[in-house]
Amino acid sequence: MTHQHNPTDENSDVTDVAAERVRIFDTTLRDGEQAPGFSMDRRAKLRMAHALEALGIDVIEAGFPHASPDDFNAVAEIARALRGPTICGLARCQTGDIESTGRALEGAHHSRIHLFLSTSPLHREHKLGMSKQQVIDTACASIERAKTLSHEVEFSAEDAMRTEPEYLVEVFSAAAAAGATTLNAPDTVGYMTPAEIAERFAYLLKHVRRDQHVIFSSHCHDDLGMAVANSLAAVSAGARQVECTINGIGERAGNASLEEVVMALRVRRPLFGVDTGIDTRKLYPTSRLLTQLTGQAVPRNKAVVGENAFAHESGIHQHGMLKHRGTYEIMHAQDVGMGETRLVLGKHSGRHALRQRLQVLGHTPDEGEMDIIFARFKALADKKREVHDEDLEAIALGHDPEATG
Ligand code: KIV
Ligand code: ZN
């Protein structure tokens, strides 16, 4: 039987085994910021970039320098300010884009130009009007130019997942020969399923010809709600860079959510056998910072960083949690920097959780008193979504909320 490690199991030593590293490429400031309602000015981007550096991000895609002067300046400022992560700028395979991205990255300690060009039949015909060979030639010429302007080059085959697999192998083999050291195969329109993604990455890893070490990268969109599952499937098949965003923000339905990818890799480490360099205790604060900077909240039930991610209201779950937190939690709130697990007192809660909360508040009612308090609590909980400490204090001191309304 496979060992099901769970970090809530304090005795497990599975995390001590050395594992391969998966690079986390954050594109919150580019693909994320590109989505309607999420744009950030230069100052906001710089604040976010510092938070991403503290989080332990390997590559920060700071923007698309040729898109606007403000984006150029944001990338340039971030490139000068940060020393830890690789700073990346996006560029089309066009001379103007490549030159300005190179200029924006000039001050970076370690820079990457991220080139992209569509490869799928639909995009070749309707968007680019290019033949298969023209796409390969354009990509290679751009990579060779970009190599002279940055420390490293990433090449993305836009709409890779709807590209003929044999042709994608040709494109990536040529890109690697031209000097790209990261080959990114995006699911640009969020079309794939995990099984398909795993098969495609396995195929690419097997067939793409490369003389130097290259890293295969995944970049999944969430149109069908599978971006995180698809990213994890790519990792299982050998991808060693995952492109993702804080809170999963991004074009249309968004990108793979960084916090979900990172925590899945950590919680299910024996399954994936890889590590990231992320300080997971900074996930929640970073998510909060992004909501403040963009004014866009995350849903309460969002995995890992939503307000309910570590909250329990039902009596059965609360009873279990009070006995052993592993009963209903696979990770701790502290693991993601969220403070404490919350046992929310509401109409679904039971006596055990109520007694525990009363004890925290300094009340130790006997069984008879507890019967009265519990009845009053239930009556109030039916009227309110959540019963707060002030309400409990009042009930414990003999106040009947039903009597006074
Ligand atoms: O989704 C996509 O294909 C992209 C590329 C530019 C990498 O964002
Ligand atoms: Zn994208």
Please state the ipTM of this predicted complex.
0.99
Choose among 114, 58, 49: nearest CA to 82: 49
215 near 236, Cβ under 8 Å?
no
Percentage of the chain beyond pLDDT 70 is 95
Confidence at residue 19, expressed as pLDDT on a 0 to 100 scale = 83
Percentage of the chain beyond pLDDT 90 is 91
- The one-letter amino acid code at 322 reads L
Helices (H), 189-257: 194-207, 227-236
Helix, coil or strand: residue 288: helix
Confidence at residue 6, expressed as pLDDT on a 0 to 100 scale = 60
Confidence at residue 87, expressed as pLDDT on a 0 to 100 scale = 98
Q: What are phi and psi of 281, to 5 degrees?
A: -70, -10
Q: Which residues are near ligand 1 (CB < 6 Å)?
A: 31, 116, 156, 158, 184, 186, 188, 219, 221
219 annotated to a ligand binding site: yes
Q: Can you tell me the mean pLDDT for 225-230?
A: 98
Q: Establish how many alpha carbons lie within 13 A of residue 334's alpha carbon, considering only the half-sphere containing its beta carbon.
A: 4
Supply 127's token pair.
Answer: 């968007």
301 annotated to a ligand binding site: no
Within 10 A of 246 (CB to CB), how many other CB atoms are there? 29
β-bridge partners, 245: 257
User: Atom of ligand 1 at shortest distance to CA of 184?
Assistant: 7
Nearest residue CA, atom 7 of ligand 1? 156
Choose among 128, 93, 127: nearest CA to 113: 93
Residue 379's Cβ-count burial label (10 Å; 0-12, 13-18, 19+) is middle
Confidence at residue 4, expressed as pLDDT on a 0 to 100 scale = 54
Q: Can you tell me the mean pLDDT for 198-223?
A: 97
What is the number of residues in the chain?
405
Within 10 A of 39 (CB to CB), how many other CB atoms are there? 14
- Cα of 219 from ligand 2 centre, angstroms: 6
Q: Which residues have C-beta under 5 Å from ligand 2, the single-atom ion?
A: 31
Sign of CA dihedral 265, 269, 275, 280: positive
